[in-house]
Amino acid sequence: MPRSPYGFVLPLLLSLAVATPVALNPVDALAKAAQETVHKQAPKPTAKTAAKAAPQKAAASKTAAKPAAVRTVHKAAVHKSATQKAATHKASLRKAAVHRTGKARRVGRVAAGAAAGTVAGAAVFRPVHAYVLMDAQSGRVLDSENADTLTYPASLTKMMTLLLTFEALERGTLRLDQELPVSRHATNQKPSRLNLAVGSTIRVEDAILALTVKSANDVAVVLAEALGGSEEQFAEMMTAKAQALGMASTTFRNASGLPHKEQRTTARDMARLSRAIVSRPAREYAYFSRTRFDWNGTVVPGHNRLLGRVEGYDGIKTGFINLSGFNLAGSASRNGQRLVAVVLGGTTAASRDREVAELLEQGFGAAPPKQTVAVTDVKAVR
């Protein structure tokens, strides 16, 4: 029987079918082919690559596997660090604030101790200490210290205010019974004051006593405005009179002696002014001998404590501001001789009074020359 031509081909096809399944879906066949291509192109991992990747994989695995408690401790540590930084910053701010406060307190202590002269052992500002002992008749200086050193007159200023008032009375431009108006500027002055009311009036004679006894700053302005039109213009009149008296180092800026950085003088100039006052007619100088006066039914006491305590002592004027220290111009007369003693920059009212008394006793020949301590140079004054 003859062999079929397909007898050889058919077994071959059957064997191929068994070895390789036929993809009946063309789309699936294409996808499979693409996958096999990518797989063939991907590089196979080498031993070196595997070794390098192993620690990273282990670290990632370790981090992922870190217990919740460990993560909590780490978070707490971070929070603690931030808190410590904030506390450190806050402490720094407190330290800076304490430094500033301490500095402010030190400055305050320096200001408070200016009159005493030292604070915590450090050299600080102290008022210039100066004195002059003068013969009132001749003007000869018998003893002095720092006589030409600039300082502040304080209420010794009022001697010039009163000198111009006496001259106005002498010219007839003022009368003792004349009523002077009180301005708001006058009532705004700092103590010592007579506490006048705005729009009220005060007699000229009462105004004089208010200055010689009470050293009232408001009344000094009343006189200044009556004589000069304004306190500023009157201060110019005061300075011009000072120059005429030979007070070359003195400048006035107000009528009372309240603090003003440009209102300056010297002990020598204040002695010259005192000499001009004691040379006035007795009825005028007598106002400086009063220890009290009556004002609206009230007895007003004075400040000059040497009156009645030193033989022959009969006036002149006290003064004090922080920049000047305790000032006193005093005068006494014995056996036809009159002396003027000026002390500027006393540390207390009592020490100032004692020093003036010693100078007068020295001048009258009843005591040896004064012994004094070293004093501050004018450069310390600001």
Residues taking part in catalysis: 155, 158, 215
Strand-pair partners of 331: 315, 340
Angle made by CA atoms 137, 140, 145, in degrees to the nearest 5: 130
Closest CA to 344 of 299, 375, 371: 375
Q: Give the C-alpha separation, 265 to 162, whole Å.
A: 17
Strand-pair partners of 141: 134
* CA distances from residue 10 to 1, 15, 17, 22 in whole angstroms, order as listed: 19, 9, 11, 16
- Say what the alpha-carbon torsion angle 84, 85, 89, 90 is, to the nearest 10 degrees: -30
CB count in 10 Å sphere of residue 50: 10
Give helix then strand counts, H and E, for the chain: 12, 11
Strand-pair partners of 338: 333
Alpha carbon 279 to its chain centroid, in Å, reads 43
Instruction: Decide if 326 contacts 349 (C-beta within 8 A).
Output: yes
Q: Give the C-alpha separation, 160 to 244, whole Å.
A: 12
Strand-pair partners of 318: 328
* CA distances from residue 206 to 168, 172, 202, 288, 322 in whole angstroms, order as listed: 16, 17, 7, 13, 28
Q: Is 315 helix (H, G, I), strand (E, B) or coil?
A: strand
Instruction: Decide if 192 contacts 318 (C-beta within 8 A).
Output: no
Q: Give the C-alpha separation, 36 to 134, whole Å.
A: 128
Alpha helices in 245-370 (DSSP H): 267-278, 282-285, 349-363
